[in-house]
Amino acid sequence: MTWIFKGLSNGVVTSKYPKKADGYGHKWQGSLMVSRGATANQDRIEQDCPTHAIGFESGQARIDIGMCIFCGRCVEKYGDTFSFTPEFETARLTRELLVVPELSEDETDLASVKAALAIRMKAFGNSVVLRHVDCGSDGSEEWEIAALTNPIYDVQRLGITFTASPRHADILIVTGAGSLGMVDSLKETYLQMPNPKAVIAVGTDAISGGVYSSSPQTVKNGINEVLPVDIYVPGSPPSPFGILYGILLALRVVSDRNEPR
């Protein structure tokens, strides 16, 4: 009886996202923003980044969110150039679009990527089944993925479910830096999935290797070296909303930042 009264007093806690905007508040450190213009101390700034995510082009600082572990060192030391933003819809269709400020992307190539993905995803209809594989993660992404099934996010309301069998899966979610001991199993999981299918790289480790990128025990430059990645969800770890946005982006339920909303 106690739980009944508690449920009545709390009301509906499930998010309305993506039908209605939702988020974590203005203090949420979801992504990074880089001020435009020339920046001094370029060599020192690059060296201070533990994953070498920061670079410069014609004096303009750029940060690769796909390599960033969101340690905040750049914001703390160089707050005039780098700052956090509460954005969580940071998943992108191509690896290049994870660079902030965004580099110019060939619109023809990007349109081709979107069209090819849309054709595959159209076959899923109103439901999609996910298979998650941990390929050498530190465990943080797993907590966020697990949260997708709790009453707050409740992905089942959107027709999204998880399966233990790759033969029943539509989308493969991969976390971790690509441990060499898991590569063969990851490839086999992908091969066992029926067509059409998609791959989502979740977290900095899966996208670029993160702090493990120089390890001889992981694949180089992320799991894109092993599988064809369709969606990149940056973060260390990304939030459940960020992961959900990546899934919905794959399904074309939502638009990416380069499309009109």
- Can you give the residue ranges of every domain in the chain? 31-88, 107-250
**Residue 198: pLDDT band by 50, 70, 90 thresholds?**
very high
Q: Dump pLDDT digits (tens) for 61-112.
A: 999 999 999 999 999 999 999 999 999 999 999 999 999 987 666 666 778 8
- Mean pLDDT on 208-220: 92
Q: Which of 9-13, 130-134, 175-179, 248-252 has the lowest mean pLDDT?
A: 9-13
- Mean pLDDT on 24-50: 88
pLDDT of residue 261: 37
Q: Which of 137-151, 154-168, 246-260 has the lowest mean pLDDT?
A: 246-260
- Mean pLDDT on 206-222: 93
The CATH class that applies to domain 107-250 reads alpha beta
pLDDT of residue 257: 52
CA 76/CA 81 separation, integer angstroms: 10
Mean pLDDT for the chain overall: 89
pLDDT of residue 115: 81
Whether 107-250 and 31-88 are alike in CATH topology: the answer is: no
Query: Residue 160's beta-bridge partner residues?
Result: 128
pLDDT of residue 260: 39
Would you identify the CATH topology of the domain 31-88? Answer: Alpha-Beta Plaits (3.30.70)
- Does residue 256 have a pLDDT over 70? no
DSSP characters over the chain: -HHHHHHHHH------TTTS---S-TT---EEEE--SB-S-HHHHHHH-TT--EEEETTEEEEETTT-----HHHHH-TTTEEEE------BSSGGGGEESPPP--HHHHHHHHHHHHHHHHTTTT-EEEEEEESS--SHHHHHHHHTTSTTT-GGGGTEEE-S-GGG-SEEEEESS-BHHHHHHHHHHHHHSPSS-EEEEESHHHHH-GGGTT-TTB-TTSGGGTS--SEEE-SSSPPHHHHHHHHHHHTTSS--TTS--
33, two tokens? 């923003």
